[in-house]
Structure 1
Amino acid sequence: MKAKFSLYAKHIVLCLAFLFLPYAFTSTNTIFSLPHLYTNAHDRIYFFIYFTLLCFFYFNYYYLIPKFYFSEKKFIYYSIIIGFLLFFLWISTTLDHPARNFLDFRNPPEHFEHNPGLFPEKFPPPPSMVKEMPFDFVGGPPTQYGHTSLVYLIGVISSLLFAITGRLQSVEKEKVKSELAFLKAQINPHFLFNTLNSIYALALKKDDKTPDAVVQLSELMRYIMTNSNDEVIDLTKEINYINNFISLQKTRLGNTVIVDYKVTGNTIGKQITPLILISFIENAFKYGVNPDQTSEISISIDIKEEQLTLSVSNKKTFSIQSESGIGLQNTIERLKLVYPNKHQLKIQDTPEKYVVNLSIKVG
């Protein structure tokens, strides 16, 4: 809602600035002069022309460009643009004349009643102008053509640039969404495979905790199915998901692993991209646990204002692989796509330990 209001406010400010642009620099030795719309016919005409040009800018941006320019009907588009240019040149020169001033709503227009000529008697046209003019001129001075054409072409070019830039941004967003969807499609089956292996191990041992593990898995999968496709979710939901995952791993591993897990800070009102933290935690359980000896895993999540810090460390075991799993690699790619310049990731890989420190903005 705030973003929409800000956008509308920007449009209103820019429109007002455009409408009053002709009066920013006047010949009255002042920087700005309000238009005299009631008493000055010339001001009325120019205000009308600028208002019409402004309407055409939005008409061109929202209708002509999508309908013709982006539909490969450029010849029709350019023909329409040229037609409108001729129309604006006509109204800017023809209407700026006392005899054709339909915008004069005074009753009667006494000022021009007995003087229908182009110039008032107080300000006769320069002799050179009358002699050198090669055509029957009924409007404003010839520079009016150039002025109207310049403003019109600036509006057309700027609307084209805005539309093309917006289209490129939309294509880029769709590309990012497609890449994220592909990465999530890889992460979810990967996680499910590992978790099912964990429950299978419990079932082989006929452990009484197997039913609880199945319930925990169902909650995890419900979360993945309902929330993983969202752009952002409440941080509280993501933390609950991590809690369930760690509980499931503790159930599976029993006393063979010591897990030091803690969450500090306030999660209320914070948002985060779903499944962006779990791969680092999952990686510790996958590569840092040895069933033949006691393993140690340390996980801490600290939230301070709009900053979340995740720290994960595990001792390496003899079974640890030299390369990270697909889930971890994909999460690193997702961080680059979703949190550009909004995260810091440091990975310390030594012969004895594997340590991850991740900081993300969760405003």
Structure 2
Amino acid sequence: MKKKIPFYAWHILVCITFMLLPYAFTSTGSVFNLPNLSHNGHDRIYFLIYFLLLLFFYFNYYYLIPKFYFSHKMVSYFGIIVVFLLFFLWISTYFDHPERNFLDFGKRMPLHNKMPHSFPPNFDKRGGPPTQYSHTILVYLIGVISSLLFAINNQLRKVEKEKMQSELSFLKAQINPHFLFNTLNSIYALAIKKSDKTADAVVQLSELMRYIITNANDDVISLDKEINYINNFVELQKTRLGNTVNINYKVEGNQYGKCITPLILISFIENAFKHGVNPNQDSEIKIHINIEQENLILFVSNNKVKSSPSESGIGLQNTIERLTHLYPDTHDLTIDDNPETYNVTLKIKVAC
């Protein structure tokens, strides 16, 4: 509702400005005069024509363009536009007579003295300024063209938004199975060892999957839920790896009252466990999350160890693409890939 109030206020302001436009420069030399509808015939006709043009602008924008133009019924659309143009030219001529002007609050001519009229209209080129066809045509065409431009621009933005949402849904669909596959491999390794921690790992996995099913499709979630999800993931990795790797994990700062896109951090952490763990080598993984006011800083570092060849990180690449889509100007990602270590620093805005 808060977003609609400025929208309506802007439209009301534009409508009032448009209605007062004919009176901005007057023949008296003053910059602006309010319309005198009770005594000035030209003001009354200007007011009527501009009011009808304003109504037609919205009628064209909300009905004619979607119904005909975007439905590729071009002949019908431009035919209607021509008909309405003739109508406005007729209106500007027909009501430029006191006996026909229903806005005339002054003395009316007797009914028997009223001039007969016919249709199609007989355009009187001797009329005053309101009957100047060039003025009516110019304002009419400006209204038609501007409504077309606004509608086309809005349509393009809508298509772009739908395309982005489709891309993000595709990226999420890739991340979730990828993560599940890796986690099931971890539990499988525990089961092979007949570890007593297998049951705990299954419970931790169920918590992770509950989060994915419940929150992964949301646009944003509270930051504390995402942090809790990462906590469960790290604990699951500790259960699986035991003492074979040194895991330095800490979270600092206030994580409440802040928002973030779900699953935007986990890929960097998952990548560290995927490429930085080898039981036969000294392995160390650092995961530091620091929340500072409106920003979150994630630092992930792992030693490069010898491991069996694996596919490139699908989840990591997709996360980078999601960051580009969702946080184009509110994130800073630095990846330091050197021979000994792989370091990631991500600064991202988490204000709701």
TM more than 0.5: yes
Cross-structure match for 1:250: 238
Residue 135 of structure 1: how far off its partner (Å): 7.8
Q: Secondary structure at the match of 2:280?
A: coil
Cross-structure match for 2:283: 295
1:156 aligned partner, one-letter code: V
Return the alpha-carbon distance in structure 1 between the equivalents of residues 167 and 275 of structure 2: 27
Distance 1:297 1:83, change over 3 A: same
Cross-structure match for 2:335: 347
Return the alpha-carbon distance in structure 2 between the equivalents of residues 302 and 143 of structure 1: 70
Q: Given the alignment of the two structures, is residue 304 of structure 1 paired with residue 268 of structure 2, yes or no?
A: no
Q: Secondary structure at the match of 1:85?
A: helix
Distance 1:310 1:17, change over 3 A: same
Q: Secondary structure at the match of 2:3?
A: helix
Q: Given the alignment of the two structures, is residue 110 of structure 1 paired with residue 107 of structure 2, yes or no?
A: yes
Q: How does 1:213-362 map to 2 (within 5 A)?
A: 213-319=201-307, 324-362=312-350
Return the alpha-carbon distance in structure 1 between the equivalents of residues 197 and 263 of structure 2: 26
**Aligned residues, how many?**
343
Return the alpha-carbon distance in structure 1 between the equivalents of residues 130 and 49 of structure 2: 16
Q: Secondary structure at the match of 2:299?
A: strand
Question: Are the equivalent residues in 2 in contact too, given 1:213–1:248 (CA < 8 A)?
Answer: yes
Return the alpha-carbon distance in structure 1 between the equivalents of residues 309 and 27 of structure 2: 79
Q: How does 1:145-184 map to 2 (within 5 A)?
A: 145-184=133-172
Q: Secondary structure at the match of 1:230?
A: coil
Q: Secondary structure at the match of 1:303?
A: strand
Distance 1:36 1:63, change over 3 A: same
Cross-structure match for 2:100: 100
Question: Are the equivalent residues in 1 in contact too, given 2:281–2:305 (CA < 8 A)?
Answer: no
Return the alpha-carbon distance in structure 2 between the equivalents of residues 33 and 260 of structure 1: 74
2:314 aligned partner, one-letter code: I
Return the alpha-carbon distance in structure 2 between the equivalents of residues 112 and 42 of structure 1: 18
Question: Are the equivalent residues in 2 in contact too, given 1:94–1:139 (CA < 8 A)?
Answer: no
Which sections of structure 1, spanning at least 5 residues, go unmatched? 119-133
1:174 aligned partner, one-letter code: E
Distance 1:135 1:65, change over 3 A: closer
Q: Secondary structure at the match of 2:329?
A: coil
Question: Are the equivalent residues in 2 in contact too, given 1:265–1:302 (CA < 8 A)?
Answer: yes
1:228 aligned partner, one-letter code: A
Residue 324 of structure 1: how far off its partner (Å): 4.2
1:110 aligned partner, one-letter code: K
Q: Could you state the TM-score of these two structures normalised by the residue count of structure 1?
A: 0.88
Question: Are the equivalent residues in 2 in contact too, given 1:308–1:360 (CA < 8 A)?
Answer: yes
Cross-structure match for 2:175: 187
Return the alpha-carbon distance in structure 1 between the equivalents of residues 293 and 33 of structure 2: 49
1:19 aligned partner, one-letter code: M
Distance 1:85 1:245, change over 3 A: same
Q: Could you state the TM-score of these two structures normalised by the residue count of structure 2?
A: 0.91
Return the alpha-carbon distance in structure 2 between the equivalents of residues 149 and 13 of structure 1: 24
User: Deviations along 1:45-90, whole A, 9 cap, x unmatched?
Assistant: 2112111111111111111011111111110000000001111111
1:242 aligned partner, one-letter code: I
Distance 1:6 1:359, change over 3 A: same
Distance 1:8 1:321, change over 3 A: farther
Q: Given the alignment of the two structures, is residue 89 of structure 1 paired with residue 92 of structure 2, yes or no?
A: no
Distance 1:136 1:250, change over 3 A: closer
Residue 300 of structure 1: how far off its partner (Å): 1.4
1:67 aligned partner, one-letter code: K
Distance 1:31 1:264, change over 3 A: farther
Question: Are the equivalent residues in 1 in contact too, given 2:260–2:350 (CA < 8 A)?
Answer: yes
Return the alpha-carbon distance in structure 1 between the equivalents of residues 107 and 123 of structure 2: 29
Q: CA RMSD in A?
A: 2.3
Q: What is the identity percentage for the equivalent residue pairs of Structure 1 and Structure 2?
A: 70
Q: Given the alignment of the two structures, is residue 200 of structure 1 paired with residue 188 of structure 2, yes or no?
A: yes
Distance 1:292 1:135, change over 3 A: closer
